[in-house]
Amino acid sequence: LLMLATLRLSEKFILLLILSAFITLCFGAFFFLPDNSKHKRFDFGLEDVLIPHIESEKEARHRTQPGLPDIKRRNPQNRVSHLCNTETSAKRATYLCQPGNPVYMMKHAWDSYRQYGWGHNELKPIAKKGHSTNIFGNSQMGATIVDALDTLYIMGLHDEFKDGQEWIEQNLDFSVNAEVSVFEVNIRFIGGLLAAYYLSGQEVFKVKAVQLAEKLLPAFNTPTGIPWAMVNLKSGVGRNWGWASAGSSILAEFGTLHMEFVHLTYQTGNPAYYQKVMHIRKLLAKMDRPNGLYPNYLNPRTGRWGQHHTSVGGLGDSFYEYLLKAWLMSDKTDSEARKTYDDAIEAIERHLIRKSNGGLTFIGEWKNGHLERKMGHLTCFAGGMFALGADGSPDDKAGHYLQLGAEIAHTCHESYDRTVLKLGPEAFKFDSGLEAVAVRQNEKYYILRPEVIETYWYMWRFTHDPKYRQWGWEAVQAIDKYCRVSGGFSGVKDVYSSNPTYDDVQQSFFLAETLKYLYLLFSSDELLPLENWVFNTEAHPLPVLHLGNITLPGSETQR
């Protein structure tokens, strides 16, 4: 009997021990499990805040062309002022109604331009007046308005979008005596107008894009068909930059016309646009390439390469991007473009991509047989390009290229993280013990560039690794802290200085690219899905052409 009582006492003790352990475990979990609130600072909670409202069926019927994706467009009421009213939920108030949010930054940039630089190409936010550079000649063509249109639309800023549309309808005139950059006007104006047309369905944007394209066509009147860098919109006279090697045209400029010109042919039925860019591709295919690399300079008179300088950054960058995107935009039917891209990337990996002593993967520049261990901010777009091109790469190398994209993203994040302002320099070295750090004073500036954030966005879309949103949040905080001024946003001259001076320029690409990529980084994948949209090099989304039985004029040999 005593033995039975002892056993019952032991059972009670064991039960008490189990209960105590359970309570301790729960208590410990409450204190030691990760605090999700810490992650909200870079997650934003935007997937249920910034996703667009869908327009009614009636509003969506503007598009009758076959083969284009369904376009999700925003309710005009979905504006910042509406989101931040007294009825706004605590979650929205926390993340939307404060500085540092991409929508609010866009509002500040646009409103400042509207107040101080309206109609000018860009804005001087310190001086609070208009600004222009030689890429737009001496004209006032409202570059910021055209470049920002699709970002305004995607963000749901429809009143602002309408203001821009009205200016374009009433004031945008291309019959001006102005010498402009063919490349810059193509990617910013034609790309921006086409994207605005595809998103909104407003015919005026297509009409203006075609009018401008006609003004650019005389630039192709060269002995080789390689266009001049600049053309006078009134006279049609073209020429090249005086500093370019021996009067050469530049690879990234004449190689970054394909997306927009194919869409122009698709919209108008005029084969001239398509034929111009296909002629460039055929000419390049016949040329010898040193080590399989494309030099950055080509003489439009002789058809010969200029100085043997190859870069995936400035002067070369978007040529490679457009080879890949020509394939994607064709619904993956333009196999010639894909093969040219794959061959180019193979040569780049063999000759330009290296690992530093500290383990950072970088893309150097080839100059006359020598690899310069320097990488530019512009080159940082390549991480996103490698990720975008991973699917469809030869020899089952998709995983390899996705990893390469991740390594470039990491290197470019380091270039930001190793500065005082947490903003990346224009160029950074990998020698003499210095890695991912700018050496020269004229390479320490940040001019609101988008390329690093662009790569974060592509890497996020393909991996959903939260570090890319974390890195994007670091960047958006730094931009808002150090580049925001009362009259807009300005670039800074030294990212290593705790007291930076401003360059006093609000670049149009800040509204077109940097803020758009930040917004998309914290939005749902359902917003502009990559299977339906391809972004031009100025971040203007153009739809994939699911051509089916439709054939582009002159393209029979390509299908």
3-state secondary structure of 62: helix
For 234-270, give the DSSP string.
TT--EE--TTSGGG-EEHHHHTS-HHHHHHHHHHH--
Q: Which residues are catalytic?
A: 184, 317, 426, 451
What secondary structure letter does DSSP report for 313?
S
Query: Hey, what are 450's tokens?
Result: 């988008």
CA distance 512 to 493: 22
| H or E element, residue 83 | helix 80-83
Beta-carbon contacts of 447 under 8 Å, excluding residues fewer than 6 positions away, are: 426, 491, 503, 505, 507
Q: What's the CA angle centered on 237, arms 235 and 243, to 5 degrees? A: 140
232-235, long-range: CB < 8 A, 24+ apart: 232/137, 232/177, 232/178, 232/179, 233/137, 233/139, 233/174, 233/175, 233/176, 233/177, 233/178, 233/179, 233/180, 234/175, 234/176, 234/177, 234/178, 235/177
CA distance 147 to 192: 5
The answer on whether 537 is annotated among ligand-binding residues is yes
3-state secondary structure of 428: strand
Beta-carbon contacts of 472 under 8 Å, excluding residues fewer than 6 positions away, are: 42, 453, 456, 457, 460, 518, 521, 522
Of 262, 106, 251, 236, nearest to 177 by C-alpha is 236
Binding site members for Ca(2+): 537
Binding site members: 537
